[in-house]
Structure 1
Amino acid sequence: MNTVARTLLGRLGGLVLTLFLASIVIFSATLLAGDPLAALAGGAKPTPELIGQIRASYHLDDPLWTRYWLWLTAALHGDFGTSFVYKTDVMTLIAPRFAITLELVLLTVILILVFGVGSGILAAIRGRAVDRTVSILTSLGMALPTFVVAILLIWIFAKTLGWFPVYGAGTGVWDRAWHLFLPAVSLAVLFIAYISRVTRSSLVAQLHSEHVDTARVRGIPRSRVFTVHVFRNASPQLLAIAGTTIAGLFAASAIAEVAFGIGGIGSLLVQAASRADLPVVQIVSLILVTIFVVLNALADLVSALIDPSSISGGSRA
């Protein structure tokens, strides 16, 4: 087994261990957040008999580890519990909302790739004036929180100009894209600025490297020098950042979803937490952690395929 394969196998084991530890933390934290009896009672004043029945049905008097094991084994068998508030299967509740969040994230990723990577490339290769302009814009973008951008977009493009809807996710492909555009922009601004800066710094480092100077001396065309010797060598770092960024979008989507009244898993998590709907909070939190860990692992894998030395600890000549 070569070094890359061993490294990837080790990271796969780390992924499984991380998810296991995360499930323990999530389950324990949600239980420590408060007693779910009020939510389980459905708004009724719980009598001693009702309290006893609820505690027995949901194993509330069992030890913590016993309750965790029952929850984990049920989840591994596809049983994610029943919402305390909505009285329906948790996955039935989550599935359509996850689809909306996924579409929002995909649209946001497109904006980040076009404007974040694109502006980073321009800043690296187009001279001082462009570099300075991009630097100013990215500084402004990183200084604006998502909720502030959302408010500005709603005020300018929805309320004042009336170009975009201000509420809901829409139906159908084009209507959905129209409804999700402003939320995607509000979510993308900070990440565009961040990715732009990372792209620029990675490319500038490669542009001043010895192997790029050698390629230029050999008379290799500038376009080939950039694609083969500059961008390809910068790709592992960009992919590593991309995994973290896309995973972060799923968590940050809650802000845009609440601001624009979109029924995604982010807004569902906020509602569930405020109403002590523990099964929903637990599963949504575990889904977000899983997405974060898996996307970072995939970024490592793709980096290894592009440049094996990026994962085995070496450096590309």
Structure 2
Amino acid sequence: MAVFVLKRIGAGVVLLLVLSFLVFSLLSLSPGTPLQALLGTRTASPELIDSLNVRYHLNDPFVVQYGRWLGDVVRLDLGSSISVQGGTAVGDILGERLALTAELALYALLLVLTVGLPLGMAAGIRRGRRLDRAVSLGATMAISAPAFVMAIVLLYIFGVALKWFPVYGTGTGFTERVSHLTLPAVTLATVLSAVLIRQTRAAMMNVMSQDYVAFARLRGLSPRRILVRYALRNASLPVITSLGLILVSLLSSTLFIEQVFSLPGIGTLLLQAVTNTDVPVVQGTVLILGAAVILINLAVDLLSLVVDPRVRLVAKEGA
């Protein structure tokens, strides 16, 4: 187990290095420079341009700039913002924005689990019946709806027309925060719940058709005991894997959702930083998101090792 975890962490570090280098390269090749954002409305005098180039090392070669940034990261220093919040430490900016994005993602995940797991299990157990057909139809419609359309429809119906929920902002206090995040969370959870329903349904259908379930029925075991002892554990592995993918999708989907609902999260921050060529903020945001994806995948793999002994055997042989 320890060897497996160390290998995954080592591979994750290499992946983050490659990712940061690629993003740094793309930013250096993109049109525009941080100097334009730094100048703002000020007159671009030669003295001011020279001072800004020296202060932010804008004239240094690409490799030197990347090496300086990487050295600071090793010392747990992500640098300072150039244009988004000029002079503010990137770590402080990310800390403020990441908290809101994490709250939104956890809220949406709770909705996904509350809706997706029970409906997927019920559809898989009652294969071909009316409930299965209704759930499958609803999941197909939800997974086919573009997220931006879903966001605008929910925003208009429940925010503008019915005025049940706020249409923008974050609110203050727990109750207001939940109210402001409900529509964004429902938008995210709608499509992702459909994904979980389909995965759970397929896993339950596969398990319920196995010989050991038929043998348990012949032994006279109650349906509840068969479901808990035999079906759920054997169907949990693909469900856990799909939950990992759903968590990653939640992080990547917040960019548009935060824009629609005017939420100052990490997705909005990344868009602002890219627009203003704020290299330290972009690099820090990509690094944090990349690390989150790697940790989520590692957690899913470790949970799979705990749930399924066959996976532990494969991991031991691979180590």
TM-score relative to the length of structure 1: 0.92
Bigger shift: 279-288 or 56-65? 56-65
> Map of 1:211-222 to 2, 5 A cutoff?
211-222=212-223
Superposition misfits of 4+ residues, deviation over 4 angstroms: none
Match of 1:292 in 2: 293
Bigger shift: 129-138 or 82-91? 82-91
Cα separation, 2, equivalents of 1:295 and 1:122: 27
Match of 2:77 in 1: 79
> Map of 1:167-186 to 2, 5 A cutoff?
167-186=168-187
Ranges in structure 1 where 5+ consecutive residues have no aligned partner: none
Match of 1:61 in 2: 59
Cα deviation code 1:120-167 (max 9, x no counterpart): 111111342111111111111111111111111111111111111101
**By how many angstroms is 1:216 displaced?**
2.4
**By how many angstroms is 1:312 displaced?**
4.2
Cα separation, 2, equivalents of 1:289 and 1:130: 39
Cα separation, 2, equivalents of 1:31 and 1:295: 30
User: Contact 1:203/1:230 (CA < 8 Å) preserved in 2?
Assistant: yes
**By how many angstroms is 1:217 displaced?**
2.6
Are 1:257 and 2:240 counterparts? no
Secondary structure of the residue that 2:42 maps to in structure 1?
A: coil
Secondary structure of the residue that 1:49 maps to in structure 2?
A: helix
Match of 2:207 in 1: 206
Question: Cα–Cα, structure 1 residues 211 and 19, in superposed 2: closer, same or farther, change >3 Å?
Answer: farther
**By how many angstroms is 1:76 displaced?**
2.6
Match of 2:34 in 1: 36
Cα separation, 2, equivalents of 1:8 and 1:215: 37
- What letter is aligned with 2:180? H
Among all aligned residue pairs of Structure 1 and Structure 2, give the percentage whose two residues are the same amino acid. Answer: 37
Match of 1:121 in 2: 121
Secondary structure of the residue that 2:60 maps to in structure 1?
A: coil
User: Contact 2:254/2:267 (CA < 8 Å) preserved in 1?
Assistant: yes
Cα separation, 2, equivalents of 1:226 and 1:30: 53
Cα deviation code 1:162-183 (max 9, x no counterpart): 1111010111111100110001
Cα separation, 2, equivalents of 1:17 and 1:210: 44
- What letter is aligned with 2:8? R
Are 1:25 and 2:22 counterparts? yes
**By how many angstroms is 1:5 displaced?**
4.7
Match of 1:91 in 2: 91
Cα separation, 2, equivalents of 1:249 and 1:78: 26
> Map of 1:276-315 to 2, 5 A cutoff?
276-310=277-311, 312-313=313-314
Secondary structure of the residue that 2:138 maps to in structure 1?
A: helix
User: Contact 2:259/2:268 (CA < 8 Å) preserved in 1?
Assistant: yes
**By how many angstroms is 1:6 displaced?**
4.0
Cα separation, 2, equivalents of 1:57 and 1:306: 54
Cα separation, 2, equivalents of 1:176 and 1:19: 33
Match of 2:138 in 1: 137
Match of 2:109 in 1: 109
Cα separation, 2, equivalents of 1:311 and 1:92: 40
User: Contact 1:236/1:310 (CA < 8 Å) preserved in 2?
Assistant: no
Match of 1:49 in 2: 47
**By how many angstroms is 1:230 displaced?**
1.4
User: Contact 1:203/1:234 (CA < 8 Å) preserved in 2?
Assistant: yes
Cα deviation code 1:205-246 (max 9, x no counterpart): 111122222332333322222122211112122112211211
User: Contact 2:270/2:285 (CA < 8 Å) preserved in 1?
Assistant: yes
**By how many angstroms is 1:311 displaced?**
5.1
Secondary structure of the residue that 1:62 maps to in structure 2?
A: coil
Cα separation, 2, equivalents of 1:212 and 1:17: 44
Secondary structure of the residue that 1:168 maps to in structure 2?
A: coil
Question: Cα–Cα, structure 1 residues 17 and 308, in superposed 2: closer, same or farther, change >3 Å?
Answer: farther
Cα separation, 2, equivalents of 1:221 and 1:72: 60
Cα separation, 2, equivalents of 1:131 and 1:306: 27
- What letter is aligned with 1:44? R
Cα deviation code 1:32-53 (max 9, x no counterpart): 2232211222342433333333
Cα separation, 2, equivalents of 1:36 and 1:108: 35
Are 1:146 and 2:143 counterparts? no
**By how many angstroms is 1:90 displaced?**
1.5
